[in-house]
Amino acid sequence: MGTWDIGPFDNDTAADFSYRVDEAPAEKKAEVLRTAFREVIETGDDYLDSDLAVEAIASAALVAAQCPGGEPVTTAYGPKQSLPELPAELRPPAVAALDRVLTPESELLELWEESDGEEWKAGVRKLRAVLAGA
């Protein structure tokens, strides 16, 4: 995975995921995000692959952008097309997926703890706070 910064879209996997979001019809975009959350949550206590975690974080950033206090996704690596209004029911699974990403059995967490882990975790927690508070 090529990573150049700590943001939700600052890696190759998230940039590729953005393309998948753009390619989905407007009425299916929410389902693409929901699937990313479900894939992470359904790992349970098993080891969480970093690519799944990255897609869940990118999805959470897109949902949080539509919440009060959320920051818009303005990076060139995010989706190019505007998202329709996303259902509020995506917020709880987004929170659950972010919580799962920050558990010990998470490859992405392990990778970040080898470098700028605290700053990265703070960004994930900020997304979580926006989603949980909405």
Query: Mind listing the pLDDT tens digit for each residue in 74-132?
Result: 999 999 999 999 999 999 999 999 999 999 999 999 999 988 689 999 999 999 999 99
Which string of DSSP letters, residue by residue, matches 89-120?
A: GGHHHHHHHHHHHTSTTBHHHHHHHTTTHHHH
pLDDT tens digits, 27-62? 999 999 999 999 999 998 899 999 999 999 999 999
User: What are the helix and strand counts (H, E) for the chain?
Assistant: 6, 0
Structure confidence at residue 9 (pLDDT): 95
Structure confidence at residue 117 (pLDDT): 85
Q: Tell the residue number behind the tokens 């900020």, with chain if given.
A: 126
Q: Check: CB of residue 106 under 8 Å from CB of residue 65.
A: no
Residue 106 dihedral angles phi and psi, to the nearest 5°: -125, 120
Structure confidence at residue 83 (pLDDT): 95
